[in-house]
Structure 1
Amino acid sequence: MDIKLVTTFLDVFESRNFNRTADRLELTQSSISGRIRALEAEVGAQLFERGRAGATPTPAGIRFEPHARLLVATWDQARRDTGASEERDRLLRLAGQFSLMRPVLVDWVINIRARDQRTAVDLQADYSLQIIKDVSHGAIDIGVLYSPQYLPDLEIQQVGEERFVMVSTHGRHLAQIPKDTYLNTDYTSYFRQRHQTLLPELANSAITVSFEGIAVEFLRRTGGSTYVPSRIVADLASTMEGLCVVEDAPQILHPIFTAVHRRRCHYPDIVQALTVLKETLDTAGGAAE
């Protein structure tokens, strides 16, 4: 099977439009149609319903999608492993919720490489649901996330906690925080529930964001108050005049989990990478007790 047929299928599956996929892949619409027809002939099933509204996956197409992702991931790993140089003989595929754990993930990879220079690392960022799907399908070796989905074939473990603190350009005490400039952060359902319980009076602010980078950008442009991971506060304060931690605001501790496929959880390189992650969290003050 030509792997290009599979990657084209995945693009159409996401775009729901042959013309849009043609633009993204810099091909003609007829080339995209030809690839999909060739793939349908190989799998023996129609994968898309074509119409004026676009391309809608058939039930067979929906069933094929996870297999297609696994095929692409397996091919990519095979290509990397086969082409390994004298300086590299193994590949770890890691994924995490990068916007919330940027310092941890980067430190983790640096420490993995410091421990073993022969290990190459493919680090990806995604949402929890996609990370779980990729780990389950074998496309990712280790997922680091906040909101795991417990599936029978996955080993889910809590490895630490992320500490969120309120920062503000208005002052160091809750009494100084104006409600009209407070920026609500909806990072996860767990975070939202904890925030609602601890600070119900600030839960219905005018602006709510779910991405830490956007929250920081609002602070830079307009000032205000919001919750951010404690790990980034020092860097923010050094570049944002007047920003400080609100000392009497409650801290929110959010569990950090890892997801590994059960058939891989005893692989030596996986075990070592998990050990390094726990050491990294412990050094940064975020390890689980």
Structure 2
Amino acid sequence: MAQTFLAIIDCGNFREAAERLGVTQSTVSARIKSLEEQLGKPLFVRNKSGATMTAAGQNFRDYAQSFVQLWEKARHKVASTTSYQDYFRIGVRPSLWHPLTMNWLKDVREQFPAVAFHLHFGIAGDMIRKMKEGVLDLAVLLTAPSLPEIKVERLFKEDFLLVGRPGDPVPDPQQPEEFAARYIDIEWGEEFRASRDHYYPFLALAGLTFSVASYGLQYLQENGGYGYFPQSMIRAELDRGALSVVEAAPVISQQVYLAYVNAKGSNILPELIDRFRLQAKEL
């Protein structure tokens, strides 16, 4: 029923959702009616233009996505027994993909060829929720979750540098409006934001924000501007002179965390965690 609910959201109406799912429209209606009865709230308002979510539907959407993902995880884990020894879903902040997670993935695939992996990229809040719901087995984050069912450990400290294109005018904190207009904000998390706002309070309301760092970096390189990026992410660009560091700007250090659910019952998950620790030591 959760898949039917999400199909209606994507299609915008019951008829197209039924076509996508390969069932009749009456079947889709019956599934939603049953779901609404179980939840005790209407999920959609049907009108000539299609189907619009109610407030209850909007609240249920994230849970429906998690239900589907958890089912997919269970299905892959059971199915993997014929081809693989085990199956794990790993959550990663995009900025922590290279080199940490990419090197880790290369390592564990060589060490555990009989294990299947699914990499999920997202923001901290989304991944923490997915871990709590059992969708993700572990995650690499810039924010430490505070939940009893999730264990957290520090991997290493990352230095964030303010960078721009070589030859572009250096931002002047004494001209906050001009500085803010050229600043490219990335959603690094609340801990980073608090540190940055301590030095540059006028950047709290950025005119341009990216949730995915690689896109923000691409925009900066093509159009100019300045932004904070982790040193490990931009090391190659700095080495070949494609980016330059704003020397007068403060370096903002932030902890990188490894979060995971209880490894009880898994012989491989503790090994995967140890491999992250080893990769972190090499950075």
TM-score (norm 1): 0.75
Q: For the structure 1 residues 161 and 136, does the alpha-carbon distance in structure 2 shift closer, same or farther, using more than 3 Å as the test?
A: same
Aligned mates of 1:114, 1:258 — CA distance in 2: 21
* Deviations 1:181-214 (CA, angstroms, capped at 9, x unpaired): 7424242222222112134466666544443223
Q: Is the 8 A contact 1:167 1:225 kept in 2?
A: yes
- Tell me how far 1:140 sits from its aligned partner: 1.0
Aligned partners of 1:245, 1:107: CA distance in 2, in Å?
A: 25
Task: Provide closer, same or farther for how the CA distance between residues 150 and 219 of structure 1 changes in structure 2, counting only shifts above 3 A.
Answer: same
Q: Structure 2 unaligned runs (5+)?
A: none
Partners of 2:46 and 2:182 lie apart in 1 by 46
Q: Distance in 1 between matches of 2:61 and 2:213?
A: 34
Q: Name the amino acid aligned to 2:45.
A: R
> Residues of 2 paired with 1:49 and 1:15: CA distance?
13
Q: Provide the C-alpha distance between the structure 2 equivalents of 1:33 and 1:77, rounded to a whole number of angstroms.
A: 29
| Correspondence for 1:110 among 81, 106, 112 | 106
Q: Do the aligned partners of residues 197 and 180 (structure 1) sit closer, same or farther apart at CA in structure 2, a change above 3 Å counting?
A: closer
Aligned to 2:74: 77
1:119-176 Cα offsets, whole Å, 9 max, x none, are 1111111222221121111111112222344223222333223221122224699678
Question: 130-139 or 166-175, which moves further after superposition?
Answer: 166-175
Change (3 A) 1:249 1:63: closer
Which amino acid in 2 is paired with 1:269?
A: I
Give, in angstroms, the shift of residue 276 of structure 1. Answer: 0.8
Q: Which residue of 1 aligns with 2:237?
A: 236
Give the gaps of 5 or more residues in structure 1.
Answer: 285-289
Q: In structure 2, do the counterparts of structure 1 residues 226 and 61 end up closer, same or farther at CA, with 3 Å as the change threshold?
A: closer
1:141 to 113, 117, 137: 137
Q: Does 2:262 align with 1:259?
A: no
Q: Deviations over 1:246-277 (max 9, x none)?
A: 33422111222233234x35733221111111
In the other structure, the counterpart of 2:148 is 152
* 2:14 and 2:29 in contact (8 A); partners too: no
- CA 71–212 in structure 1, closer or farther in 2 if over 3 Å, else same: closer
Correspondence 1:130-209 to 2 at 5 A: 130-170=126-166, 179=179, 182-187=182-187, 188-200=189-201, 207-209=208-210
Calculate the TM-score normalised by the size of structure 2: 0.77
The root-mean-square deviation of aligned C-alpha atoms, in Å, is: 3.7
